[in-house]
Amino acid sequence: MPTEKPGALDLTGMQRAVRWYPPAYDIRVEAAPIPQIIDPDDAIVRVTLAGLCGSDLHIYRGHEDVDSDLTCGHEIVGEVVALGSSFHPQVTGRPELYSTLRVGDKVVSPFTVSCGECHFCRIGFTSRCVHSCLFGIPSLPGGQAQFVRIPKAGGTLFSLSALQYSATGIANRDLSHLSDSSLILLADILPTGVFAAMQALQHPKIAPMLTAKPYPLGGHFPAQTSSQGQAAAALQSEDRILTIAVVGLGPVGICATISLLDILASLESSQGLVYQVIAIDPLEARRNKMQAIYDAIDSTGKGGGRFAIASIEDGKNLAANWTNGAGCNAVLEIVGNNSALTLAYEVVRPFGIISSVGVHQEPPLPFNGRDVYNKNVSFDFGRCPVRAMFPIALDVLLKRQDVFGGVGTDSSLIEKVVALDQAVDMYKLFDKGDCGKILFNPWI
């Protein structure tokens, strides 16, 4: 079994991997074959860190109806050790990594495959690529292992090394100080948090609070300047207070809260926005982690808005009290069960938005047609297009190194980095919500 860095590596044998067996709660750390290039677009990546994530818990708990064993994990930072024949410097007309990626490059992989070439990828909806595939399912072994195969790697991967060869955009950033444990947040949870926040803030029903112009807003439509357009005058500040609840403070919820506060703080200074954020989780450990992180963020990252961390009951009360009973303009649902969706519906205001990134299962949604009609609710559901969110998430990552940069302190999001051998215990611990983000280093 390989334990050395590439060069000394034998890529033909067996490796250590975290594996799950049906029906539920059965994690085993065992030997598995090292994945091989099976398609010209593949890359093989030597995993330097792999994340444990709330999404792993859906499979762990047996909620995903998976009936065969699999190699877990979908959050991957590593180093390219082998490339398929599609990669060579003269490639044109394909995503740029097919010509620039090299063995030895440092890469982050989003948690799903995206080709970079289909309509969905080109338009930025990369999580619904026609070749989309989640890492850590029976047909695509995951990253909680020493090596992982990345399909459509020229589209899927984000190469930190390749940035140095490019002269545009974020290529000009100095990323050399970013640790692997910081970079791995780009594989899933930070882009997903940013996505949850942006879905809400970009929604046209939120525009009145951001622009002081009443609904329905301009855009491609004529502005509202009528006599009897009661709503045509610029909105007063009392109508512009934006109240947002975050439901669920696991690692993704914390990332969403940090991203949300960062964006709101910048809107506060650029547009005089007044905002309030209520971060809700039933678990005290999760609330404490959120509090420690909030305390560590400097004022440019959280602005002057009101902020509270609350249990479910306290959260409901705050949502009412801070809004004169109206409820929240938007709710970010970052849990993935019906109790969270019910809470989101309860605390959202009429004409409010529920931005849901929780992974939901088969039970019916906990509201019927009359409920959603009666509140004029808007919903956004689904999987984060991580590949498309990368540049924005990278911005937040760079700005918030105070909370994303460290490991194991009170105010760091990442609780610990452990060996694969500890996976059985770590899954148990994370399942209880008794800890923050856990990472595996497959080489210790």
Ligand X SMILES: NC(=O)c1ccc[n+]([C@@H]2O[C@H](COP(=O)([O-])OP(=O)(O)OC[C@H]3O[C@@H](n4cnc5c(N)ncnc54)[C@H](O)[C@@H]3O)[C@@H](O)[C@H]2O)c1
Q: Which of residues 133-192 bind ligand X (CB under 6 A)?
A: 188-189, 192
* Contact flag: residue 113 with Zn ion (CB under 5 A): no
Site residues for its own copies, 189-208, by CB under 8 A, read: 195, 198-199, 201-205, 208
Report d(CA 437, CA 412) in Å as an integer: 9
Amino acid at 298: D
The stretch near Zn ion (CB under 5 A) out of 92-100, 114-122, 255-263, 374-382 is 114-122
Report d(CA 397, CA 404) in Å as an integer: 7
- Helix, strand or coil for residue 170? helix
**116/385 with CB nearer ligand X:** 385
**266/288 with CB nearer its own copies:** 266
Sign of CA pseudo-dihedral 159, 140, 336, 53: negative
Report d(CA 394, CA 343) in Å as an integer: 31
* Contact flag: residue 121 with Zn ion (CB under 5 A): yes
Contact yes or no for 246/330 (Cβ under 8 A): no
* Contact flag: residue 392 with its own copies (CB under 8 A): yes
Amino acid at 45: V
Q: Figure out which of the listed residues 102, 128, 399, 416 binds its own copies, where binding follows CB under 8 A.
A: 128
Give me the least distance between CB of 81 and ligand X, in Å please: 27
Q: Figure out which of the listed residues 301, 352, 358, 405 binds ligand X, where binding follows CB under 6 A.
A: 358
C-alpha 260, offset from chain centre: 13
* Contact flag: residue 241 with ligand X (CB under 6 A): no
Closest CA to 286 of 334, 353, 346: 334
- Which partner in ligand X, its own copies, Zn ion, none is near 247 (CB below 5 to 8 A by kind)? ligand X
Report d(CA 261, CA 294) in Å as an integer: 10
* Contact flag: residue 188 with Zn ion (CB under 5 A): yes
Contact yes or no for 104/216 (Cβ under 8 A): no
The stretch near Zn ion (CB under 5 A) out of 183-191, 254-262, 331-339, 407-415 is 183-191
Contact yes or no for 439/52 (Cβ under 8 A): yes
- Which partner in ligand X, its own copies, Zn ion, none is near 340 (CB below 5 to 8 A by kind)? ligand X
Site residues for ligand X, 26-45, by CB under 6 A, read: none
User: Per-residue contact track with its own copies, 41 to 70, x per CB under 8 A?
Assistant: ------------------------------
Angle at which helices 251-271 and 386-399 pack, to 10 degrees? Answer: 70
- Which partner in ligand X, its own copies, Zn ion, none is near 249 (CB below 5 to 8 A by kind)? ligand X
Size of the site for ligand X (CB under 6 A): 34
Q: Figure out which of the listed residues 85, 166, 271, 339 binds ligand X, where binding follows CB under 6 A.
A: 339
- Helix, strand or coil for residue 112? strand
DSSP structure class, residue 5: P
The stretch near its own copies (CB under 8 A) out of 10-18, 35-43, 75-83, 385-393 is 385-393
- Helix, strand or coil for residue 146? coil
Q: Figure out which of the listed residues 20, 135, 322, 367 binds its own copies, where binding follows CB under 8 A.
A: 367
C-alpha 118, offset from chain centre: 22
Q: Figure out which of the listed residues 155, 305, 405, 442 binds its own copies, where binding follows CB under 8 A.
A: 155
* Contact flag: residue 86 with ligand X (CB under 6 A): no
Site residues for Zn ion, 44-83, by CB under 5 A, read: 53, 55, 75
Sign of CA pseudo-dihedral 384, 386, 391, 395: positive
DSSP structure class, residue 205: T
Q: What is the dihedral of CA 82, 83, 89, 90, to 10 degrees?
A: 160
Which residues in this chain contact Zn ion in the complex, by CB under 5 A? Answer: 53, 55, 75, 114-115, 118, 121, 129, 188
